[in-house]
Structures are given as structure tokens and as C-alpha cells.
Structure 1
Amino acid sequence: MQTTIRRRLPLVTGLLTVVSLVAVVAAVRQAIPDALLPPVPHSILAAIPHLNALLSAAAIVTIIAGWRSIQADDVDRHRRLMLTSLGLFLGFLALYLLRVAIEGPTSFGGPEWLKLWVYYPILGVHMLLAIVCIPLVYHVLLLGLTHAPAELSETLHPRLGRIAATLWLISFSLGIVVYLMLYVLPL
């Protein structure tokens, strides 16, 4: 299986990206049939944004630690931390999709000028980076999982990894700003 994925890396990256984006669009448009969604108490749905902010903050920490680990040439720690970052992201994504599929996207309740000049630009950049990160993260992950550590320097893994990690950090950080604007800051 590893050899098959390695030979078809662009195809697998593309398929994973398309599946991920279709899932996000279906959830945001509330196009997932109710029969496929589990019953979730309102208290759990209300807690998801707060939990997702914690998952995002934890992912920021693990991405930075993973970046530092590879700079220190600690490949095993780097791998563990980046897989942990991916796990945190997947947990975030599953909870986000569940909540949005059931309740729909949260509307910004602040003043119109703040929505237009601050909230929407931050949200737009966050969303754009999240979309751009999906294929980058998948590609870097698949390279890391299908190549021996000694081979990775001969692949796009180091260069794309730096780009993916940087964009991922910015996206997670902006996601926390969006969370603060929606749920925490008094407007």
C-alpha cells in the first residue's frame, strides 16, 4: 500500500483534498442528511467552538515544537509532533463539521463596520489559508509516511513542509481570532 501511495502521490493528495473540501461544503450548506448525523445535545454543540479554540491553540504549539524538532535534527520527535498536529486538526475539523452541519455557520453579531472591515477580512484570509493548506498538508504528510527519513531531503517535503507549517500556523491563529470575535469579545 505504501508503495502504491508513493507512486500515486499527486492522485492520492488530490482525492483526499477533494473529499475534505466536499465534506466542508456539504456541512456548511447543511446538505448532509439528518439520518447521517448523530443526535447531539445542545450543551455539547454549544461547547464545540470553545473546545475547537483549545484544539487550535494546541495545534499551534505542536506545529511550532515540530518545526523546532526538525531544526534540531530530531526526526522522530518531529514526526510525532506533526502527526499530533494532524490529529488535533482532524479532531477540530470533525467537531466543526458536526456543529455546522447541525446548526449552520455562526453569524457575526457585532457592528456592521466591524464586520465589513475587520471580521470578514480576517475570516476570508483564515478560510483561504485553510483551503490552501489542505493539499499541502496532505502532500507533506504522505511524503513523510511513504519515504524513509534519509530520502525526504530529496523530495519536496522540506520546502513544502515549511510553507505548509507557516500557512497552517497563520490559519490556526486567525481561526482563534475569529473565535474570539464570535464568542468571547463583548461587542
Structure 2
Amino acid sequence: MAYVPRERVRELAAVLSIVSLAVVFAAAGGRIPQSTVPTAPEWVLELIPHVNVAISATAIGTITVGWRAIRRGDVDRHRVAMLASFVLFVAFLAFYLYRLVATGGPQPFPGPDAVYQFVYLPILAIHILLAIVCVPLVYYALLLAGAYSIDELRRTSHARIGRLAASLWLVSFSLGIVVYVLLHVVY
């Protein structure tokens, strides 16, 4: 059963991507005032990065399960795993954006300047770039899955776009864990 109008998949993916990325850039750029989010105790704000690393690790697992399931022909398990991955991504982003707005901006890097310039920044840049690229790909793959039956879906670009999105998503989540380790474990 189709849940998304087939003729609108690209447009809907584009609109969702633009809106999502606009919210992220607005939060990262300090355009969303702290007064727009409820105040949380400091311990909650400090807990969010730790929750998000657990979410990221879990998402790596669900993406991997989804990928393996579809390779084995288990469409139902693939669907559940990939929807779970998307829900985890949304939860991660909601927590991250909440903390970003509530604290007034990104957390400064506490380590040495050389590590900041030659390790942290390149890893962070690649992580962010991949996350940005993933947004429209993930929306497009999910919307195709909602617009076509399983038999019809095989004749769309869902598999090709899905493989690309999953690959980039895995690398982005993994690099996000490296960023966490640099910010909260090493330094």
C-alpha cells in the first residue's frame, strides 16, 4: 500500500531536506534563541552527549542489521531496521539540537590546538558533510519505500540510493562517535 504520492517523492524529499537542514543550520548558527526551548537542569545537558553516543552506536547496529537483512531477502526485517535507524537519527538530532540551543552554541574543543586543527576539525568536517549529504538521500529512500509496493520498489532507485545513504550514514555515525571520544573521553 502506497503512503506517499509517487509523483511527489522527489519534491517531498527536497522540501523535507531543506526544512530539516534549515533548522540544523539555524540552531548551529545561533539563530534560534535559547528562550525557545524549555530550560533543563545542567545534569540533563551534560547527559545528552552520552545518550547521543549510545544512540549513534545503536543506529550503526540497526543500519547494519537492515543492510544484512535485505541482502538475505528479508524485506520485513530490513524495513523495521531502517525505520528504527531513522527514528534513532531523529532522536539523536533532537537531543543534539536541543543541547545546542539550550547551551548557546557548540561545545569548544578542550584539547591541544594541534589536535584541534589536524585531527578534530577534519574528522568533524567530514562527519558534518556526510550528515548533510545523508539527509536528502535518506528521505528519498524512505519516501520511495512508502510510495511503492515491494515488487514495484525493485524498479526504482531505492536500492541504489539506499546503499549510498546507508554507507554514508554508517561513516557519519562512526565519525560522530570519534568526535564524542575526542570531546568527552580523551580530553
Normalised-by-shorter TM-score class: over 0.9
The 1:34/1:106 distance shift into structure 2, 3 A limit, reads closer
Deviation at 1:145, TM superposition (A): 1.1
Structure 1 ranges of 4+ moved more than 6 A: none
Q: In structure 2, how many angstroms separate the alpha carbons of the residues matched to 1:129 and 1:117? A: 19
RMSD: 1.2
Partner in structure 1 of residue 96 of structure 2? 96
Are the counterparts in 1 of residues 65 and 81 from structure 2 also a CA contact under 8 Å? yes
Partner in structure 1 of residue 71 of structure 2? 71
Counterpart amino acid of residue 91 in structure 1:
A
Partner in structure 1 of residue 84 of structure 2? 84
Partner in structure 1 of residue 174 of structure 2? 173
Q: Which runs of 5+ in 1 are unaligned?
A: none
The 1:30/1:5 distance shift into structure 2, 3 A limit, reads farther
Aligned length: 185
Q: Provide Cα deviations, 1:102-139, integer angstroms capped at 9, x if missing partner.
A: 11101111111111111111001000000000000000
Q: In structure 2, how many angstroms separate the alpha carbons of the residues matched to 1:3 and 1:50? A: 35
User: How high is the TM-score relative to the length of structure 1?
Assistant: 0.96
1:8 aligned counterpart, secondary structure? helix
Q: In structure 2, how many angstroms separate the alpha carbons of the residues matched to 1:77 and 1:4? A: 21
Q: Which runs of 5+ in 2 are unaligned?
A: none
Are the counterparts in 1 of residues 33 and 101 from structure 2 also a CA contact under 8 Å? no
Partner in structure 2 of residue 136 of structure 1? 137
Deviation at 1:157, TM superposition (A): 0.3
Find out whether 1:40 has 2:34 as its counterpart.
Answer: no
Are the counterparts in 2 of residues 30 and 102 from structure 1 also a CA contact under 8 Å? no
Partner in structure 1 of residue 111 of structure 2? 110
Q: Provide Cα deviations, 1:54-111, integer angstroms capped at 9, x if missing partner.
A: 0000000000000000001000110000000000000000000000011110111111
User: How high is the TM-score relative to the length of structure 2?
Assistant: 0.96
Partner in structure 1 of residue 157 of structure 2? 156
Q: In structure 1, how many angstroms separate the alpha carbons of the residues matched to 2:108 and 2:34? A: 22
Q: Provide Cα deviations, 1:121-176, integer angstroms capped at 9, x if missing partner.
A: 10010000000000000000000111101111100000111000000000000000
Deviation at 1:34, TM superposition (A): 3.5
